[in-house]
Chains A and B, each alone.
Chain A
Amino acid sequence: MREISIREAIREAIDEALAKDDSVFILGEEVAQYNGAYKITKGLLEKYGEKRVIDTPIVEGGFTGLAIGAALTGLRPIVEFMSFNFSFVAFDQIVSNALKIHYMSGGRFKVPIVFRGPNGAAARVSCQHSHNVEPLYAHLPGCIVLAPSTPYDSKGLLKAAIFNDNPVFFLENEMIYNIKGEVPDHDYTVEIGKAKVIEEGVDLTLISYSRMIYFCREVVEDFKRKGIFIELIDLRTIKPLDVGTIVTSVRKTHRAVVVEEGHKYAGISAEVISLIQEFCFDDLDAPVQRVCQMETPLPYSPPLEAETIPNPARIKKVIEEVLIGVK
């Protein structure tokens, strides 16, 4: 099968959606003539024209609200945030309009819209440009939150998101845009709300998503060499969580660690661990632990940055603690 990068996979999903349905359009800063700040939309202006690939001024609140208005009347906008940090400028439009109008209108109007762009820490971009927004948005009812880690899932989930009738946050990560993987030529989607066991194991369940999956893979391989087999779950969808896949795995391994790039306090890992204690209380042989970004704004200096976000060494250390008593 052919191999393409995550960047190309996301582009193909947008390209195919634009080709398939006239109501789909993409707008954002630098998406058209500049080909996208991260070149996701490269070539799309040429192919679909300025009516459907739209450069906006730097005005996140304005263009997000505009896209929501368009979605209310039957269009399917894809809103590119150059980075999800800039979605905060549009926070009121997202929270008060996109996530509320369907319910608040008694189901009269729907908001089929995708908010996408890079999320989380990039490289040395410091405190204001490194947020993990998933707990902020996933906290609110009325939306779907996706954070895939592979080219296959990126393409399949983004296509599912564009044709979904709900507001969807599609969280990318700049650090993995160039990672390659197998993607079929044929048309496919990946079902929203399904996690994936990407490595089977019996000794511990390791749960993560997006870029952190690659750190987890490294750690899982390390332990495998020592004869410890860790089951690795890629959540892929953060909201709604695939409780079944998580619970089935933990009931088998009796131990779990959750790795989240964002902060520990009230994060996604807190939600996952809460579900595990709810459904697997009698199955657990050790307290469930988590590895998260430390409780600091993300600093610029390389050693500080590398330490505050989860890294393989920290993940390994926590897993060792949870494995005490095994073998």
Chain B
Amino acid sequence: MTTEEIKQPTLYQSDPLAVIAEMGMHLSLKMLDEMLLIRHFETRGEQSYQQGKVWGFYHSYIGQEAVQTGIVNALGADKNYYATTYRCHALALLLGMTPEEGMAELFGKQTGIALGRGGSMHMYTKNMYGGSGIVGGQWPLGAGLAFSLKYRGIKDEVAVVFGGDGSVPQGTFHETMNLIKLWNLPLIVVVENNGISMGTQLERTIANPPIVENMSKAYGIKSYSVDGMQLPLVYDLFKKIKEEVQQTCQPIMVEVLCYRYKGHSISDAATYRTKEELERIKKLDPIESFKQLLKNHCGFTDQEYETRSEVQKQRVVKAVVEADLAPFPDVHTLEEGVIIP
């Protein structure tokens, strides 16, 4: 079975231009800036890795920027609870981590968002509960975030948990789907399907795709599927979902079809994918396609785009310089905070 033969889910449809009109130029440009920040951050982060200044496992979000950018802007960054996987830099940036705090964490420095203790896979910021390094480990944690909202009677917030297609076969995924439906927890489950579980294509990991369309039926959970390369569609769907969850106090499952341009992690040369396939994917680029929409319909120009991209790039370059100059954590702090006194 080739990738093309996998049954695709019915995708959420909406008029991107109408969505952009509703978002307005201010929000559209904010989201464009955020996607650019993520891309420059990952680019420079990987570059620093190649220079021997960042170590360990590094999972890039390049290619998937529209997904979490659209979702966080639709739901709101200042409230709601979020949890994700080790591919966590983008979500942390979207929820308020500064590029300086993020880059310093990658560099293992004292000024890092987790004091240099977590590294690339474990970023935490306000309303963001990881950064979970074990595939599928974040699913029940997400249920707990939603449980907490319900327990405390908080009705104007939702919990969101992200995971990849590779974590769907784990038992925790199915345990969590059962629990959130059984207990009617306000959790939005987002399966970011980039088609490859580390290096193994979806047709060799998932018995009965499409993932969410089929599995949601087993648990009686309402579901949607959406093209994650198109920012307006993601944003529009999650605006709608937020209202639904708040009204019904029921979980919702969403499959977001997306692509990662890089290997699973930095050490993965992605030999399981042909150059032609990657070139085809890159034509769907979420930043480029959003830029085209703004250009063709909102009077946005290439020059404006370059200027904005340069601003984000310079933010990241500054963060790299600062991370490089920042001190490593004092080894005397090593044992601090293991146990709370």
For the complex formed, measure the closest distance between the CB of A25 and the CB atoms of chain B, giving whole angstroms. 7
CB pair B141–A69 under 8 Å, yes or no, is yes
For the complex formed, measure the closest distance between the CB of B27 and the CB atoms of chain A, giving whole angstroms. 28
Expressed in whole angstroms, the Cα–Cα distance for A66 and B139 within the complex equals 9
CB pair A107–B337 under 8 Å, yes or no, is yes
Closest to B329 in A: A106
CB pair B137–A105 under 8 Å, yes or no, is no
Interface check B143, CB cutoff 8 A: yes
User: Pick the contact of B143 from A62, A75, A144 — CB < 8 Å?
Assistant: A62
Report if A103-B117 is in contact (Cβ < 8 Å); known contacts: A51-B151, A70-B151.
yes
Interface check B207, CB cutoff 8 A: no
Contacts of B147 in A (CB 8 A): 66, 69-70
Contacts of A93 in B (CB 8 A): 137, 140-141, 172
Interface check A101, CB cutoff 8 A: yes
CB pair B145–A59 under 8 Å, yes or no, is no
CB pair A65–B144 under 8 Å, yes or no, is yes
Q: Mark A34-66, 1 if CB is under 8 A from B, else 0.
A: 000000000000000001000011010111111
Contacts of B117 in A (CB 8 A): 103-106
CB pair B172–A166 under 8 Å, yes or no, is no
For the complex formed, measure the closest distance between the CB of A322 and the CB atoms of chain B, giving whole angstroms. 34
CB pair B114–A62 under 8 Å, yes or no, is no
Q: Mark A102-140, 1 if CB is under 8 A from B, else 0.
A: 111111111000000000000000000000000000000
CB pair B137–A97 under 8 Å, yes or no, is yes
Expressed in whole angstroms, the Cα–Cα distance for A286 and B81 within the complex equals 58
CB pair B129–A72 under 8 Å, yes or no, is yes
CB pair A105–B114 under 8 Å, yes or no, is yes
Report if A69-B340 is in contact (Cβ < 8 Å); known contacts: A105-B130, A106-B115.
no
Interface check B339, CB cutoff 8 A: yes
Interface extent on A, as a size class?
Answer: 35 or more
Interface check A212, CB cutoff 8 A: no
Expressed in whole angstroms, the Cα–Cα distance for A218 and B264 within the complex equals 60
Q: Mark B147-163, 1 if CB is under 8 A from A, else 0.
A: 11101100000000000
Comparing B71-79, B174-182, B196-204, B307-315, the segment that makes contact with chain A is B174-182
Q: Mark B117-129, 1 if CB is under 8 A from A, else 0.
A: 1100010110001
User: Pick the contact of B151 from A75, A96, A110 — CB < 8 Å?
Assistant: A75
Expressed in whole angstroms, the Cα–Cα distance for A66 and B337 within the complex equals 24
Expressed in whole angstroms, the Cα–Cα distance for A64 and B337 within the complex equals 23
Interface size on B, residues (CB 8 A): 43
CB pair A107–B141 under 8 Å, yes or no, is no
Contacts of B245 in A (CB 8 A): none
Report if A105-B144 is in contact (Cβ < 8 Å); known contacts: A65-B172, A73-B81, A92-B134.
no
Contacts of B210 in A (CB 8 A): none
For the complex formed, measure the closest distance between the CB of A150 and the CB atoms of chain B, giving whole angstroms. 25
CB pair A69–B118 under 8 Å, yes or no, is no
Interface centre among A67, A72, A164, A166 (most CB of B within 10 A): A72
Interface check A142, CB cutoff 8 A: yes
Contacts of A101 in B (CB 8 A): 124, 129-130
Expressed in whole angstroms, the Cα–Cα distance for A66 and B140 within the complex equals 5
Interface check A71, CB cutoff 8 A: yes
Interface check A141, CB cutoff 8 A: yes
CB pair B124–A62 under 8 Å, yes or no, is no
For the complex formed, measure the closest distance between the CB of B203 and the CB atoms of chain A, giving whole angstroms. 27
Contacts of A68 in B (CB 8 A): 140-141, 144
CB pair B132–A61 under 8 Å, yes or no, is no
Expressed in whole angstroms, the Cα–Cα distance for A59 and B118 within the complex equals 29
Report if A66-B129 is in contact (Cβ < 8 Å); known contacts: A74-B148, A104-B114.
no
Contacts of A56 in B (CB 8 A): 179
For the complex formed, measure the closest distance between the CB of B204 and the CB atoms of chain A, giving whole angstroms. 24
Interface check B142, CB cutoff 8 A: yes
Closest 10 CB pairs of A and B: A69-B144, A65-B140, A62-B175, A106-B114, A106-B115, A105-B124, A73-B148, A66-B144, A69-B141, A165-B340
**Given A73-B149, A142-B339, 10 other A-B contacts at CB below 8 A?**
A65-B143, A66-B147, A69-B83, A69-B145, A73-B129, A73-B144, A93-B172, A96-B137, A106-B117, A107-B337
Q: List 6 A-B contacts (CB under 8 A).
A: A62-B140, A103-B338, A106-B337, A108-B114, A110-B340, A141-B338
